[in-house]
Amino acid sequence: TWTTGNVIEEQVAAIREQVGAKRAICGLSGGVDSAVAAALVQKAIGSQLTCVYVDHGLMRKGETEQVEKDFVAATGVSLKVVDAQERFLNALSGVSDPEEKRKIIGREFIRVFEQAQVEIIAEAGAHGDEPVQFLVQGTLYPDVVESGGGTGTANIKSHHNVGGLPEDLEFELIEPLRKLFKDEVRMVGQELGLPEEIVHRQPFPGPGLGIRIVGEVTRERLDLLREADAIAREELTAAGLDREIWQCPVVLLADVRSVGVQGDGRTYGHPIVLRPVSSEDAMTADWTRMPYDVLSKISTRITNEVADVNRVVLDVTSKPPGTIEWE
Ligand code: XMP
């Protein structure tokens, strides 16, 4: 019979057998898949695993701390955090085109991650440890099916998540979630004692807030969007809507300004877009008919609390024709 306990036991045994005394690396993205995969491998081989988290500065409020503090506290995993915020901001400077942003973020991510891998391999060598020979990936069953079911190589859509195995670093893959669907992964994560915020995290794009700023990405704009997004998330959670809403991108129209009035002054600020959608698989989606009073509360709070935002608008487009994200 299928129980999370059985899945964990089976995978732990299989991973121990596969890895032996050697060492493994796992990239953490902040998402549920890589977190659960890492936690399983940690349970199996303990300190033979090193995790890497690239802080690209495009995460939402509190998410980096969830990985750095809560995930580490829950699993005891050894984590290498690379602060690459400056590097990503520099690389994105002056760029507004969505696909160009994606390319830059993906490219920089791989470079930083690869560099971290090289350092971990070198450190293990300097300590006289067993070689680092394995890479952990949070591949799920639907990814396996979509990519034709092969094993042993990285099957990741180019724009997705922690993908893009550097070709000159050869690793064997550990993919402990290959037989699982998303809801099963969440159950396993829960059983492993991972933080609630990670286990029930809604889908979030790899390029993060970088593709939720329509226009150039700057530190000020990221800070502003992070505040607005945190308010929306807080109110959606308080209203009990987290399960009903598949995800709710919060988008900053950085190149648009409109006239407003606040106190006795005229303002000329930016609009924030709320994009709550209901979906089964993100392939199609409908805009969520959410309660007016919740929308009203979010709007009031964002315009009061976030400087330079004087308007909140609701996206009422289904997918198709609109995509879920604005970029
Ligand atoms: P769209 O906007 O295409 O999004 O309707 C469908 C789903 O994919 C997510 N998404 C991404 N995920 N890297 C990712 O890892 C990306 O570049 C990316 N773009 C969109 C989006 O959040 C939604 O869940």
Rounded to two decimals, the ipTM of the complex is: 0.99
What distance in angstroms lies between residue 135's CA and the mean position of ligand 1's atoms?
A: 24
What distance in angstroms lies between residue 132's CA and the mean position of ligand 1's atoms?
A: 32
Q: Ligand 1: does its nearest atom lie under 6 Å from the Cβ of 106?
A: no
Q: Which of 32, 143, 325, 326 to mutate to test the pocket of ligand 1 (most atoms within 8 A of CB)?
A: 325
Question: How far is C-alpha 185 from the geometric centre of its chain's CA atoms?
Answer: 15
Domains of the chain: 4-199 (3.40.50.620), 212-314 (3.30.300.10)
Residue 130 DSSP symbol: P
Q: Whose CA is nearest to atom 12 of ligand 1?
A: 205
Ligand 1 atom at shortest distance from the alpha carbon of 322: 5
Report the SS3 class of residue 219.
helix
pLDDT at 34: 97
Backbone φ/ψ region at 36: left (φ over 0), alpha (ψ -120 to 50), beta: alpha
Q: Ligand 1: does its nearest atom lie under 6 Å from the Cβ of 34?
A: no
Q: Ligand 1: does its nearest atom lie under 6 Å from the Cβ of 245?
A: no
Q: Ligand 1: does its nearest atom lie under 6 Å from the Cβ of 103?
A: no
Task: Give percent above pLDDT 90 in the chain.
Answer: 90
Give the CA angle between residues 321, 324, 325 to the nearest 5°.
Answer: 115
Distance CA 265, CA 317 (A): 33
Residue 100 DSSP symbol: H
Distance CA 61, CA 283 (A): 27
CB distance 246 to 287 below 8 Å? no
For residue 268, pLDDT beyond 90: yes
The pTM score is 0.92
Q: Ligand 1: does its nearest atom lie under 6 Å from the Cβ of 160?
A: yes
Distance CA 108, CA 276 (A): 30
Ligand 1 atom at shortest distance from the alpha carbon of 279: 24
What distance in angstroms lies between residue 205's CA and the mean position of ligand 1's atoms?
A: 5
pLDDT at 147: 79
Ligand 1 atom at shortest distance from the alpha carbon of 161: 15
Summarised one tens digit per residue, pLDDT across range 92-133 is 999 999 999 999 999 999 999 999 999 999 999 999 999 999
What distance in angstroms lies between residue 211's CA and the mean position of ligand 1's atoms?
A: 10
Task: Give percent above pLDDT 70 in the chain.
Answer: 94
Q: Whose CA is nearest to atom 18 of ligand 1?
A: 205
Confidence of residue 81 (pLDDT cuts 50, 70, 90): very high
Distance CA 177, CA 4 (A): 12
Q: How are beta strands 23-28 and 132-136 bridged, if at all?
A: parallel
Q: Ligand 1: does its nearest atom lie under 6 Å from the Cβ of 323?
A: yes
pLDDT at 159: 37
Q: Which of 101, 324, 326 to mutate to test the pocket of ligand 1 (most atoms within 8 A of CB)?
A: 324
